[in-house]
Each structure stands twice: as C-alpha cells, then as structure tokens.
Amino acid sequence: MKAVRPEVAALTQNGITRLAFTRLGDPEVIPLWFGEGDLPTPAFIRDAAKQALDQGNTFYVHTRGIEPLRLAIKRYLDNLYSVDIDPRRVSVPGSATLGITIAAQMALTSGEALVVSPHWPNIETTFKVTGAKVNTVRQRQTPSGWTLTGEEIIAAITPRTRCLFVNSPCNPTGWVMSPDDQEKVLDYCREHNILLIADEVYHRHVEVGNVAPSFLSIARDDDPVIVVNGFSKAWAMTGWRVGWVVAPAEQATHWSLLSECFNTGSAVFAQHACITALEQGEPFVQQVKTQYREANQMVQQALGNHPLIDLAPSAGAFYSFPKVRGITSSETFAARLLDEENVGIAPGYTFGPDNDSYFRLCFALSHDRLAEGLSRIVRFLDRHSNEAI
C-alpha cells in the first residue's frame, strides 16, 4: 500500500465487524455480537442534549472537556470509590476508545505492550499502530470463572515492556481483577516506569457488589496509570462516543494537545447530557444491572449444561465466552450460525491467541430476544453435534 506505514498497511478488520457488517441492521438477526443492549438512551439524558442544543451549545470548548463535566466526573468517582481525585487528572477527549488510543500514543513508538487476554480486538490494533510489538498474558479458564494473578501478569513483563493494558471487568471473559492483584501490578509498574492503561468501562456491571475494584482506589496523583472509562455501557450511550480518562496530573496539557489533534474534543451538547447522566442516572444504572445479572443466569441455564459447551461463569461486564467442543474455526461457526439461525455472535479467534474454539455473546439484550437467541444457538448445536465445524 503506497505512502502508508507498514504497521497500518498490515492491519486487518477485526472478526466482529467483518461478520456483522454483512448483516448489520437486518431485523431478522438477533444481534449478540456487539457490546450493547437494545434499550435506547434514557429520555432524561436525550432531553438534556436537546436542551443544550436549543441553548446554542454548539461551539468549540476546552479540548479536555467542559469544566462542569470534568467536575461531575470527579464527584461521581469520589463518591463511588471514596477518593478525592485532583480535577486536573480528569479529561474528556472523546470516546473511551480514543482515550486508550491517546494513552498508547503517549507511551509507545516501539518497544512492547503487554495485553491481558482474551481481549477486545481493537486494543491490539491500537498498539500495533504505534509500532510496538504486542504480547499477551492469558487468563485461565476454571469451573468457577476466569482467573489471572498479579504475579502471572508481572512474570509476563519483559525488559522491553513499556505499557501494560488491563481490562477489568473483562470483555469478553467477565474476569474481574482483585484489589490485591491491582496493588501488586501497580507497585511493579510504578517501580519500573511502565504505563498502566486500565480499561474500566464495565465498572458498574459486576455480579457481586455495586462497583468493580478500581485502580483509582490505590493510584497516587503521579502514578504511571491511566484509568479509562465512559458513558457507553452504564448509561446505554454507545452511539454518543463520550468517555473520560483519569491520568497523572502532570499530563493535563498533553491530553489537551493530543485531543485537539485527534478530534478537537467531544461534542459539547453531548457533554452537557453526560452531566445529567451522572447526576440523575443512578436509578437507570441499577435497573440495567439487575437486567444483566438475570440475563447472565439465563445464559448459564441455557448453555452451561450443554454437552458441547464448556462455559465459565462471568463475574462482570455483560458477556459470556463459551468454548465449543469440536469447533475447528470460530469464524466458520459464527458465519454458519448467522446464516442458518439469524443469530449474530463474535468469533473467538478475534479476541487473541488460543481462542478459536470460543465465541462471545453479549447478554445485554432484552430477556425475550436473548432467550430466543439462546434457543437458536442450542438448536444449531444440537443439529450439528455429530460434525466438525
């Protein structure tokens, strides 16, 4: 490819969108492939955006986000984790994915990035674009859930590691990192000057408790840790593309500069709506938490005892990551399920090495649609139980 860096020319489309784009928007398909439910953004949040537009909030603003939103994020996190975050640490550069992209650009032009895996495929792409080599450390599947210790993560770090990426609660496995392991890993990154990027976008979706453990509870203002979060998951705002980061205070100017380069900041009227989400949205957050916990049980009941399925329970996020005995290609499996049963899932191969016998399904849809999707998956498995796929 002419006039394009080799790192970019070598990139390929991830396995989720490669499949989903073939039938995107098809009403016959039950879409379990993307990380979103079917509830629209609540009306009170949409109304706040409309009001902001009517008030003329359509001009350039600070590239780190408007101050009222940054302070609202600070208050939200302070209350949630019993901390007192320096407001200079909070930035709203755009989507949470953009926050990860900027963080990766800050740390890397070469060297190595270590990614806790299985992982969302775009994370690997984000690091490869920088020119860095991507290594992974794999969680272990056990009957009680996916697990990985802080010692195992540290053991996978090499002298060339410049950045560590941890997603907890994890997409796709539902693994949740313990506070003790977070402390061990942060201590190591602090000592060896490794940038730790913590993707905590599923922080409100846990099976036990009100919130997942966060690096915010233990990180000092100057620690080499960037905690990424956003509005997409907890407030059903996937299409709004607004997220935030909590970074070292000394990086505030750099976040302003890089946000200006990438997209000149988030849409201002959306930022006003996000303030409303933080200040009025807790009942909705609790509503969907209950829905997702019940949906997780539905998946366990439908697939957990199937003779072809090996399914570890999910402790967080809103995904299941079943292993199917006899799969030879998760891409073929997902394509045939879509073709024969009109159910969209994400093939396991796209979530990193050693996942080609897995698939991911999102259980955030309404219970009736989820139940129908699970029924079709079981029917497909039963029909093809005596053949390799």
233-288 pLDDT tens trace: 999 999 999 999 999 999 999 999 999 999 998 999 999 999 999 999 999 999 99
Average pLDDT of span 364-387: 94
For the cut 80, the answer to whether the pLDDT of residue 387 exceeds it is no
Looking at per-residue pLDDT, the higher value among 385 and 162 belongs to 162
For the cut 90, the answer to whether the pLDDT of residue 171 exceeds it is yes
Burial of 339 per CB tally in 10 Å (0-12, 13-18, 19+): exposed
Residue 375's pLDDT band, with cuts at 50, 70 and 90, is very high
181/198 Cα distance (integer angstroms) = 13
For the cut 90, the answer to whether the pLDDT of residue 44 exceeds it is yes
Q: What is the pTM of this model?
A: 0.96
Q: How high is the pLDDT of residue 169? A: 98
Residue 7's pLDDT band, with cuts at 50, 70 and 90, is confident
Q: How high is the pLDDT of residue 384? A: 85
Helix, strand, coil percentages in the chain from 3-state DSSP, rounded to 5: 45, 15, 40
* CA torsion through residues 166, 133, 17, 239, sign: positive
Q: How high is the pLDDT of residue 100? A: 97
Q: How high is the pLDDT of residue 18? A: 93
Q: How high is the pLDDT of residue 10? A: 86
For the cut 80, the answer to whether the pLDDT of residue 2 exceeds it is no
Beta bridge pairs of residue 163:
113, 195
Weakest mean pLDDT among 57-66, 147-156, 241-250, 257-266: 257-266
Q: How high is the pLDDT of residue 341? A: 98
Q: How high is the pLDDT of residue 48? A: 98
Residue 87's pLDDT band, with cuts at 50, 70 and 90, is very high
254/339 Cα distance (integer angstroms) = 47
**In the predicted model, what is the mean pLDDT of the chain?**
96
Q: In what order do the strands lie in the sheet with 195-199?
A: 90-94, 243-246, 225-230, 195-199, 161-167, 112-117, 133-138
pLDDT digits (tens, 9 = 90+) for 9-31: 888 899 999 999 999 999 999 99
Q: How high is the pLDDT of residue 291? A: 97
For the cut 90, the answer to whether the pLDDT of residue 4 exceeds it is no
Domains (ranges, CATH) in the chain? 6-41+283-383 (3.90.1150.10), 43-280 (3.40.640.10)
pLDDT digits (tens, 9 = 90+) for 284-313: 999 999 999 999 999 999 999 999 999 999
Q: How high is the pLDDT of residue 193? A: 96
Q: How high is the pLDDT of residue 3? A: 84
Q: How high is the pLDDT of residue 11? A: 85
Q: How high is the pLDDT of residue 109? A: 87
